[in-house]
Structure 1
Amino acid sequence: MESFVELPNLPKGRLKSLIVGEGCPENLLSSLESLGVSVLLCPKNPRVDSRLSGHADLSVFHLGGKSFLLAKTLKNSAFAEKLLALGADLLFSETEQANIYPHDASLCALSMGGRVFHNKKLTDKEIFFKSPLFHDVRQGYAKCAVCPVSENAAISSDMGMIPVMKNCGIDVLELSSGGVCLTGFAEGFIGGAAFKLSRDVIAFTGSLSSLPDREKLLRFLEKQELRPVFLSGGELIDLGSFIPLTEET
């Protein structure tokens, strides 16, 4: 059987489908297909910076289960129709996005084990009101800044978010900055370059060879009983979040 991932970002069964931005390279799409993962491509968001327009986490927020909040630009889109055909319940944001940070970040909140982390000043009202365990942080790109690996463990280099997460009892691996590429920017975030394929498997968009803390990361994955999968042998690239959609149950 196949059902929507209940806890955002944290599939328990084997991932069957996910959402990623339409700028995802073909070699990564082929790797996902070989793993049995279907891909729903999220259209580019014309309201945000063109360098980030293909990042799905600026256009889609998973509220949990079959509920999703989409950017208003996706109203009446083929993408929204495909989600509806799968049985999703959709809400559409009323927030006006713009092509400069932080006015593009209203949907880029981190949902993790029932908690939501985001800059409260930026958060779309639907996310805030539907998140009883909301934690205010400075980061607007909260989802991209963190890769959740379980309900109580995560990976991040964001020194503003890490203390808040640790105060919530989350075991956070603190990565040094660098090693993740993002076209048009000095560097990217780990949350846009890694995601869960199942309870015990984590995928990376490329090799870890460029990460300053590669060995520390591998030890952390071993501690968390996670097996890494590498979708390419190239550089680790931030593509905006890969959003787990459905899983095998």
Structure 2
Amino acid sequence: MNKAILSEKYPQFATKLREYGYEVIPSETIPCNMPYERDHADLQCLILDHTAFVLSCCERIIDALSCDYRLIPCGDRFTGKYPDNTCLSAVQCGSKLIGRIASLDEKVKEYCRIHGIKLINVNQGYAKCSCVPIADNAIITADNGIVNTLRNTDIDVLPIGKGSIQLEGAEYGFLGGASGYDRDNKTVYFCGNINHHPDSKQIKSFCESYGTNVVSLSDNDLTDIGGIIFC
């Protein structure tokens, strides 16, 4: 993975990722979405293995990934309103995909059926934004519903407190939206300084227990930018 899809609303994060050697792919701006999520990458693209599911209106992302991935345009029911806007908001943990099944794009669900990926249903439509994967079987989340659901699986979960994440135009954001996990490098990059989070010690310790590196992309407070998708 040497590419990163993310919003450039806060260019300091893209600049820092370029310094780490990543080619940055700017996310699109989708006018029908809520103002605070119009450029959120985690609502525009979902990558499963070597297949990229991308909203059909996100031509820049489709073009950027077309050489490296099998591209599947999605969003037949996309309206920009919840929960239709979360049709690609899911998080993969090994052979499992966590998301609100009723909201997921039919092409994603078909792919999972064909390739033996187990769908784990949660009530939270913004599943990707709500979760920070730090290994194939471990995530961090502040969503109690997701925590309770995953207790019945082999996925290890670190529950954290809600809030402490900036999201312009909303009361608060989510840690998944303020981060991205590069599986190849076993590194979680945070959009801001993870030490500013009240649960930073537990977060860093949890990542360390799985051999996952933690990188803060700035010294400012954590900011939900719609996540970073490494590809």
- What TM-score results when the alignment is normalised by the length of structure 1? 0.85
**Unmatched segments (≥5 aa) in structure 1:** 1-14
**Contact in 2 for aligned 1:57/1:143 (Cα 8 Å):** yes
* Alignment correspondent of 1:18: 4
* Alignment correspondent of 1:109: 90
Partners of 2:112 and 2:211 in 1: CA distance = 29
* Alignment correspondent of 1:123: 104
Could you list the per-position Cα deviations for residues 140-186 of structure 1 after superposition, in whole angstroms to 9, with x for gaps in the alignment? 00011001111111111111111222322111110011111111111
CA RMSD of aligned residues (A): 1.6
Shift of 1:105: 0.9
Residues 64-83 of structure 1 correspond to what in structure 2 (within 5 A)? 64-65=49-50, 67-74=51-58, 77-83=59-65
**Contact in 2 for aligned 1:45/1:59 (Cα 8 Å):** no
Partners of 1:180 and 1:94 in 2: CA distance = 28
Question: Equivalent residue of 1:187, what SS?
Answer: coil
Question: Equivalent residue of 1:186, what SS?
Answer: coil
Bigger relative contact order, structure 1 or 2, given CA contacts below 8 A and separation 6+?
Answer: 1
* Alignment correspondent of 1:37: 22
Shift of 1:46: 2.5
Could you list the per-position Cα deviations for residues 176-212 of structure 1 after superposition, in whole angstroms to 9, with x for gaps in the alignment? 1111111111111111112224443221111124322
Partners of 1:201 and 1:69 in 2: CA distance = 23
- What TM-score results when the alignment is normalised by the length of structure 2? 0.91
1:165 aligns with 2:146: no
Partners of 1:51 and 1:204 in 2: CA distance = 19
Partners of 1:208 and 1:125 in 2: CA distance = 36
Shift of 1:106: 1.0
1:225 aligns with 2:211: yes
* Alignment correspondent of 1:175: 160
* Alignment correspondent of 2:220: 234
- Identity among equivalent positions (%) equals 26
Partners of 1:73 and 1:170 in 2: CA distance = 34
* Alignment correspondent of 1:87: 68
Alignment match of 2:81 (pick from 84, 95, 100): 100
Partners of 2:63 and 2:210 in 1: CA distance = 37
* Alignment correspondent of 2:202: 216
**Unmatched segments (≥5 aa) in structure 2:** none
2:89 alignment partner AA: C
Shift of 1:100: 2.8
Shift of 1:31: 0.8
Could you list the per-position Cα deviations for residues 40-96 of structure 1 after superposition, in whole angstroms to 9, with x for gaps in the alignment? 11211223112101001111111222x11111212xx24322222x33221111433
Question: Equivalent residue of 2:18, what SS?
Answer: helix
- How many residues were matched structurally? 226
Partners of 2:37 and 2:157 in 1: CA distance = 26
**Contact in 2 for aligned 1:48/1:100 (Cα 8 Å):** yes
1:61 aligns with 2:42: no
Structure in which a larger fraction of residues adopt helix? 2
Question: Equivalent residue of 1:82, what SS?
Answer: helix
